[in-house]
A and B are shown apart, each in its own frame.
Chain A
């Protein structure tokens, strides 16, 4: 990896939450990955795998029930975890921005779209309100909102779902951030609107040369947008590689199962492949490999923590039995 175009590095990040009974919930437990300039990576996993918590931790937005218990998040040579809250506020919106899944709840209903976009511009770029308004109008135009000038004075409820998501993207991009975190940006949208929004994110990324961390469970979106894929399961990264490595040569049994259980539009499958069982309870993760109780390759070795292995150039897997993955191709997950 060329060190000079590294944009963001997450190293051994640990985020734990605490229940009222003081039980420790290890939502993110030693997660590492990196993002290069202008690159899109995808964090993939099912609910509860820790992908959203990871992204909130990058912005230091973990609420009071949780705590970042270890690790480093390095942006431009600085460890974000060592910054004061005041310094962190300078980073949010200017260097790192985020768009959320649910545009209706992420926008403030009592302020106009213009006010909400201008807030960040005034804060970070020290512009006067009339200048900020001009900049806000420009960014609304950038995200393809028609009649931008009029929209500035409208409230979120006056916009449709797709338009709200565009407005939120406009807000996130108003200060031209280096890193954009998109947390399930299209999950609540209809497919035809999803197609518009994905197209927009791709276009803007190239235009602004941003690094994008795309958080999603939709492997179709991943295949279309991400250059590299980080697969998470139960608070750990289980596999990381280029898009082609992950789709053509999945080497962790979980990745394999995930890829084979997606219903496809191009082939009718008699029976869909399944991963048996359910995601484990985060208060009670299995010891050793956390996937072992759902895994067809499980044996005694899996009671110990797997090692992080580089099996091909830049393709890493966290499994004792990655070399036996071929077995799944013949017998699947049925045991």
Chain B
């Protein structure tokens, strides 16, 4: 089901300036995304995971050109979109759409949901107005909201229903790639699984490719074919989902997996407690950025930055000692 690369990201960087003083002089940079390269294959769901501040959302926004990249390239279907002029971007935006985390702030409260879904199609003049109307109704039906909701306003909907509206809007232009940034994090458990199932169904019906940004590894396990872990603006591991969850190789990945509470009263995973907090992305640690919190760090880790290397087929890790930390199940 996965094919040629749909999206190629090469050495992408996004730095945010820190300004201070009367003249707002730039005194330093927040290195939110710091040299990231990967590919997204057509038809796959790539999960990007990491904790807050790791750069995963910034990466999503930079791919979409909602942020201008500081350096690096993004190729979509072979075309470099990181240097396109704003007028040329319009055609690309049709093909890459986004679903946002917070369904309460990402819908315009003054527009009824029909016009929210239709807006993109009108901007891109994809069809006659009556055709656009018909398509909007179809989409609402498809995401599980009937035609009777067409002229209602966002405040009349619950979080899960709003997320469905956001999904209908994202699909209106028939995109190839959908970047979903924490699409289910703000939803209740029973509604969350409804939305995940919907995303799976839509992917099949519309041959979509997803970049699925999430901090929730259990959700990523259920929806993604491949997983990419970020820490402080860098990729630390990329692997197929099954390989990743059965044998995570970067100590940070292992710690993340071990920290997820297991909903089972009989066994638990022995938690690897990382000491301290994520360091500041303004002055990331020398060498391996994770060495300050890594339970298996050695001298070399604070001196030499490890490269992202393929340790097995399609399994890439940036660590001097991959696989040296493991996790285990223990009875409660």
Contacts and interface: CB of A to CB of B under 8 A. Distances in A.
Contacts of B274: 192, 195-196
Contact of B261 (A223, A261, A266, A269): A223
Nearest to A243: B265
B190 A275 contact: yes
B158 A278 contact: yes
Nearest to A244: B265
Interface stretch (B27-35, B89-97, B216-224): B216-224
A190 B192 contact: no
B200 interface: yes
A266 B260 CA distance: 11
Contact of A224 (B256, B258, B268): B268
B189 A258 contact: yes
A198 B271 CA distance: 11
Of the listed residues A192, A195, A224, A275, the one surrounded by the most CB atoms of chain B closer than 10 A to its CB is A192
Interface string A262-282: 111110110111111011000
A310 to B, nearest CB: 20
Contact of A264 (B191, B218, B265, B268): B218
Contacts of A219: 189, 263
A266 B257 CA distance: 10
Interface string A190-212: 11111110110000000000000
A265 B277 contact: no
A223 B219 CA distance: 18
B257 A265 contact: yes
B77 interface: no
A265 B255 contact: no
Contact of A274 (B194, B215, B277): B194
A279 B188 CA distance: 10
A46 B189 contact: yes
Interface in B28-83: 51-52
Contact of A46 (B188, B258, B260): B188
A223 B263 contact: yes
B196 interface: yes
A191 B263 contact: no
Contacts of B221: 263-265, 268
Nearest to A188: B52
Contacts of B260: 191, 220, 265
Nearest to A260: B193
B193 A192 contact: no
B273 A199 contact: yes
B215 A271 contact: no
B160 interface: yes
Contacts of B266: 244
**B interface, by DSSP: helix, strand, loop or mixed?**
helix
A274 B190 contact: yes
B294 to A, nearest CB: 12
Interface residues on B, range: 35 or more
A322 interface: no
Given A258-B190, A261-B189, A192 B256 contact: yes
A264 B245 CA distance: 11
A259 B215 contact: no
Contacts of A196: 273-274
Contacts of A266: 262
B193 to A, nearest CB: 4
B241 interface: yes
Contacts of A31: none
A257 interface: yes
A193 B273 CA distance: 8
Contacts of A259: 263
Contact of B51 (A191, A220, A264, A273): A191
Contacts of B193: 261-263, 272-274
B265 A190 contact: no
A230 to B, nearest CB: 15
A248 B263 CA distance: 11
Interface string A42-53: 000011000000
Nearest to A258: B189
Contacts of B219: 263
Contacts of B217: 191, 265
A272 B189 contact: no
B205 interface: no
Contacts of B271: 195, 199
17 contacts: A162-B277, A193-B277, A194-B259, A199-B271, A223-B263, A223-B268, A224-B268, A244-B266, A259-B263, A262-B193, A263-B193, A264-B218, A264-B222, A268-B221, A269-B222, A275-B190, A279-B190
Interface of A: 46-47, 160-163, 190-196, 198-199, 217-224, 243-244, 247-248, 257-259, 261-266, 268-269, 271-276, 278-279
Given A46-B190, A160-B277, 17 more contacts: A46-B191, A190-B52, A192-B259, A193-B51, A195-B271, A217-B189, A223-B263, A224-B268, A224-B332, A247-B265, A263-B193, A263-B216, A265-B257, A265-B262, A266-B262, A272-B196, A274-B197
4 A-B pairs with the lowest CB-CB distances in the bound complex, closest first: A220-B261, A190-B51, A272-B193, A275-B190
